[in-house]
Structure 1
């Protein structure tokens, strides 16, 4: 009788552990609603997505894609870095494809279709021991190497538009870039179809374009970053902001690489970034810096390639 009770106790503990593990299990849909495809934003797109998730043992990665158009391969770090799909650890060609995260450490996934990996269809994640594990502190970043002013074309080849992927499109574009005082943002668009509005954080969050700091209507618009802090840009065209035409960046001091948060000024400041046309040597106007501490990493831009190419 005693041995049977002991056996039942052990069984109960085991079942409880299994139930707890099952309850803690989470399914992560890679790319969320946009799924697994070649991202126009390059490899930064999936880095943005992964940065917003915590992966634990027992969790599942779900790759949603159209069978025949995409595939997903689990590979080594070396294969990931070189986009070598010749000898994958595991290859799945039918969507949706699920991978269970059963060990701690780093996992690497790529698309093996022609040049898909080179074009950014690749995902690297790190799995912690379990859902209750503390998040390790990030290693301190080295001081940035001094450099001259850099000109950034917002959105690169697809420019300043209403992005089909929503506001995370420009988050993906800005991710991984360091903006210093003295750098320039270039907004390219078709005149009469877009504009560039410098706004406060509150206006940015609420898409309220009734009160703007500055508005520029002639493309290209060059915004010179002449102060530290965080800046907010959107469009005043009807519903463009709500549909995702918005960009938030942080500008750091050039010499030290440290960011200085500025309070919310209510009037234009002479220390704010200026915008100027290539045809005019002087600035059009100045705009105050604002701060955006939300740091949203939820999902990212993943849309049809034909739209951007």
Structure 2
């Protein structure tokens, strides 16, 4: 959901270490299973939804190299808008094995914009889907551990048939789960929300009983950090230095 950092509510990817910093051997996943890497709406969201990915796991992308490729992009915004202009990596063998070497979010799209827009993209990330949590204070704890700044993005992943994201304007609406006067409503299932001003922002579900069960998020947005200009040390003039030197020879008062 800065430098823009993108903070996500989506499928899981965790850090996994062996002893002495050696990575444990991970699982191997064929992306899309029998469908492979192709253009199908929501195929990869559904495929990744219930999987838990770890550092050391490998993803196999199988596809026709004459019509597609696998482009790894850096952030949620490039992923959401199918922007392949500054890729992190490009794979085009038709049988690519990509190992997850670090924790966090990983984004894969087709560089063919029309194919990406119609569903040929995959995200594996670092938290939970936007859904009713097992512990009612899950989202409170999630946000308390993070610092949000103007320019950060929140990417909400969820099933748009059963859920949505509403922005409300006050602490009272947030506490009472009052969705009658939302500031904004999002319901695509993959909502990218940019934090544009400092202050407190509130997000809830409008679906009956879900907000009350803990499906709500409050974030404190801090101003953009700006480094203060370094104060230049004023150099004294030769005349100032001369008077300072003379001052050393002034007689001191006797007590």
Question: Which structure's residues are more often strand, by fraction?
Answer: 2
* Larger Rg, first or second structure (1 or 2): 2
